[in-house]
Amino acid sequence: MSPPRRLSDTAYLSQMLPLPLALPLAELEVGQHLYWHLGNLKIHGQVFLSSWVVIGALLALVFVGTRKLERDPRGLQNFLEFLWDYIRDLAREQIGEKAYRDWLPFIGTLFLFIFVSNWGGALLPWKLISLPHGELGAPTADINTTVALALLVSLAYFYAGLSRKGFRYFEYYVEPTPIMVPFKIVEDFTKPLSLSFRLFGNILADELVVAVLAFLVPLVVPLPAMLLGLFTSAIQALIFATLAAYYIGEAVHESHH
């Protein structure tokens, strides 16, 4: 067991936990990032690395699963078709029969990326690879990732509404009464905010709970939290995709015929 490497990090933790500082256990880091410099931008390298792994895994899965399509669905093809059915049902239920086809790829991508990110973060032994700074983990445990996803959802539902209804989209703001205008405008800001913070908070909290429990009692005790984490990560992916689809459905919905 190495002594704490960065004193400030351990101090950070000791504010959360009533522990003596000099406890000779594994240290826990929060808020450390592997910074890459791209022009003036500082980007979180560990998020990119794990995102690439997730994206690569998804592409490989889809590529291998659809290489030889048969009428009798077996193995991976059957699994992919099952996923497709699931995502289609989700999108159709939320967006409606008329417009869901346009948004099925977007919703499916969101769901699969978040799901595989979450499960990858919870299941892959990322910490075997040590980085110069920070540590690898679920890409969705970084607020930047979830904010990006949530802003994409905002753009998507604005685009969906405007492209389908033109400027009549803004009738949505005065329905059912014009009193709703300020609330609806505030909603446009709270939607991405709540989407991103919900996902980020859940995944980060899950990782932290597991890390803290593993830090206190290395064996067996973190197991329930890890299994629960798998469950909540799956639910979070579902919630994010469902809400994205719901917002798009709300934007393309025709209230009066």
Partner 1 sequence: MTPLNTLVFASHGSFGLNLDPFQTNIINLAIVIAILVKFLPGFLGGILQRRREVILAELKDAEESLVHASAALALAQQELSSSKAKADQIRIDGKARAQAIRLEGDHRTIQEMALLKQGADSDVNAEVSRVRDQLRREAARLAIEKALVSLTTKLDSQSQARLIDQSISNLGNA
Provide the binding-site residues for partner 1, judged by CB under 8 A: 1, 26, 34-39, 45, 71-74, 78-79, 81-82, 85, 122-123, 125, 127-133, 210-211, 214, 218-220, 222-223, 226-227, 230
Among residues 133 and 165, whose Cβ is nearest to partner 1? 133
Tell me how far apart the alpha carbons of residues 247 and 243 are, in angstroms, rounded to a whole number.
6
CB of 45 to partner 1, least distance (A): 7
Taking the C-alpha atoms of residue 94 and residue 160, their distance in angstroms, rounded to an integer, is 14
How far apart are CB 8 and partner 1 at their closest, in Å? 17
Beta carbon nearer to partner 1, 196 or 202: 202
Please list, in sequence order, all residues whose beta carbon lies within 8 angstroms of the beta carbon of residue 22, skipping any fewer than 6 positions away. Answer: none
Looking at the Cβ atoms of 125 and 166, the one nearer to partner 1 is 125
**Is 58 or 230 the residue whose CB approaches partner 1 more closely?**
230
Nearer Cβ to partner 1, position 73 or 182?
A: 73
Shortest distance, position 37 Cβ to partner 1, whole Å: 6
Where do we find the tokens 């064996």? 219
Nearest by Cα to 239 from 198, 193, 208, 197:
198
**C-beta closer to partner 1: residue 11 or 221:** 221
Q: Min. distance of Cβ 90 from partner 1 in angstroms?
A: 16
How many other C-beta atoms are found inside a 10 Å radius of the C-beta of residue 45? 19
Tokens representing 185? Answer: 């405008």
Tokens of 71: 């009428």
Question: Considering only CA atoms, which of 220, 215, 243 is closest in space to residue 19?
Answer: 215
Q: How far is the CB of 36 from partner 1 (least distance, A)?
A: 5
Contacts of 55 (CB under 8 A, 6+ apart): 113
Q: Is 126 exposed, middle or buried (0-12, 13-18, 19+ CB in 10 A)?
A: buried
Residue 6 CB, nearest distance to partner 1 (Å)?
Answer: 12
Residue 80 Cα distances to 63, 66, 84, 91, 252, angstroms: 10, 8, 6, 16, 28
Q: Which is nearer to partner 1, 204 or 211 (CB)?
A: 211
Return d(Cα 38, Cα 214) in angstroms, integer.
35
Closest CB 257 distance from partner 1, rounded Å: 35
Q: Which residues contact 201 (CB under 8 A, 6 or more apart)?
A: none
